[in-house]
Structure 1
């Protein structure tokens, strides 16, 4: 730091203010200091800076399926919002949701000196024996909070209800459902809302078929549904499974939407290019990611851990894959 100060012709205190991104530095002076830092290969000591500021300038993210559309989009939004706030992001992917895996991920990120952690879609939080570091700010995205952590999620029930009501209002007697994995909070909430909406409308509730979010699992479920002539409307818990159902119906000679209406959930960018374009529920994952960072920074700055839940409203997007059912003979 002394060498940078000498090169730039300023005090060491000025170099410190520039290194910590304080705003009480003249822009010309800041430019000279940054140029001197680059010339000398200076890198601020993060540990020393943390002793002064109380922050490490990094946020941690734990996700259990980064390949899933929603998780990947949420992670990208968190990274963007963190960067804008002057933080870097350290990511830990966990393949299996166990208490040991969650604790290990948190321990690893703690050793990397993060200021707070976002946990994306975890069913582990309702495990009474799971105890996370009490001093670490935590925000949960797309997961139930059986603990005291702030949570950001979509209003899954509202999105599902609008989609099922759309299909019933078209004249379908009932709506069949291909759900996501049984251990997924999002899949569970969508499935429960589907059933409640049918019951409220006095519509029959048919047995649920389960997939794993993949197009292949939707295809396999679609092959089963295609054999039943009474199936006129299908709600898939995500767009990838809906794509598989479209393929299965096509192979079985069931026309979409004249014979069967198919709808999904998420509104992936490709959904409007499906054949036919897919009716679905749009979720703005960018908003979720940014809310997560906002809540995390509130905890970091105020050292608070008060529970708070933000529900982001999804939007029904009607396209050409849904229509009134075929006329009964």
Structure 2
């Protein structure tokens, strides 16, 4: 015998079980302050016990909000962006929001993405990393609260209703470079990220600032595209004069480690290597990778917190998180 579909727990079921009116349950579900704390606690406990979940469409009709947040991102292929997606999804769910993802590879796609979010009644949106540059100057639907993560200082983020959340990439890159200099290296080569990436440009700036502040020569950089394969290709031609390398992310550092090994150069004995991000596998590279830890969970939580505050009409200051140098065996 096959059981039929289980009936959805209704607001009336919660009211009857908690011994309150349906209106009281509705007020609790919609976050109204017009419920005394003891009653609210009893209703919330009953909701939890019965497994009550308010239908989003019904809530939207009552409140004018869908409790859904949009994410506009240019690609999810990079490790950093996929880590941010997970962090944002977790943080949004913890605050009762669903997440809708729009991938956009050009300015037209970003404009279309805004239109799609508007048509779906999205309450607010996060624009992530490379997509922030694509969104520059594009008209944003009125009333759509926005948070931009890792954004260049341009007219997109100058408007009062935009909030910026970012890692201090300059400080992280400076720490990586200074660490390599303290090990006795005359200078540090840089394996940079894509030229159109704000994060890559900031990490390059931190590397350059550290060398110039120390009075050390600034060598030509080599550039990859965040992938391990590009790191391998960029470093394969390095000569023996290179003794220290700062890679703009851990994936490119992984490719660099293989390229150096292919040339018979030992890490860290012949070349010291530092990455950026501290991905989950960084401690299992050979050798374990010294890197700059970017706290993706904290970044995602800060972005969602800022967006929720903007939805509530609050003023929110820009958020900057300082990354941490994690010392391992590669440098």
TM-score normalised by the chain length of structure 2: 0.85
Which of these residues, 163, 181, 185, is aligned with residue 150 of structure 1? Answer: 163
SS at match of 2:187: coil
Question: What is the aligned partner in structure 1 of residue 127 from structure 2?
Answer: 119
Q: Residues of 2 paired with 1:222 and 1:136: CA distance?
A: 44
TM alignment of 1:160-179, pairs within 5 A: 160-179=173-192
Aligned equivalent of 1:27: 42
Judge which range, 73-82 or 184-193, deviates more.
Answer: 73-82
Tell me the residue number matched to 2:210.
197
Task: Deviation per CA, 1:221-250: give whole Å up to 9, x if none.
Answer: 12111xx11111111100111111110111
Does the 8 Å contact 2:107/2:134 carry over to 1? no
Q: Residue in 1 aligned with 2:80?
A: 70
- Segment drifting more, 138-147 vs 250-259: 138-147
Shift of 1:59: 1.0
Describe the superposition over 1:186-221 as per-residue Cα deviations: whole angstroms up to 9, x where unpaired: 001111221121112111111111100000000011
1:123 deviation in Å?
A: 5.3
**2:323 maps to which residue?**
314
Which structure is richer in relative contact order (CA contacts within 8 A, separation 6 or more)? 1
1:175, 1:235 within 8 Å by CA — same for their partners in 2?
Answer: yes
CA distance in 2, matches of 1:33, 1:170: 56
Rounded to whole Å, the distance in 2 between the matches of 1:83 and 1:247 is 39
1:56 lines up with 2:72 in the alignment: no
Q: Which moved more, 1:246-255 or 1:130-139?
A: 130-139
Q: Secondary structure at the match of 1:245?
A: helix
Q: Hey, what's the Cα distance between the residues in 2 that align with 1:213 and 1:123?
A: 16
Is the CA contact (8 Å cut-off) linking 2:72 and 2:128 kept in structure 1?
Answer: yes
- Structure 2 match to 1:99: 107
1:137 partnered with 2:145: yes
Gaps of 5+ in 1: 323-329
Residue 183 (structure 1) aligned to one of 170, 173, 196: 196
Secondary structure of 1:135's counterpart equals coil
TM-score (norm 1): 0.85
Q: 1:308 Cα deviation (Å)?
A: 3.0
2:275–2:291 Cα contact (<8 Å) kept:
yes
Cα RMSD (Å) of the superposition? 2.7
SS of residue paired to 2:65: coil
User: Is the Cα contact below 8 Å between 1:8 and 1:32 reproduced in 2?
Assistant: no
Q: Which runs of 5+ in 2 are unaligned?
A: 1-7
1:298 aligns with: 309
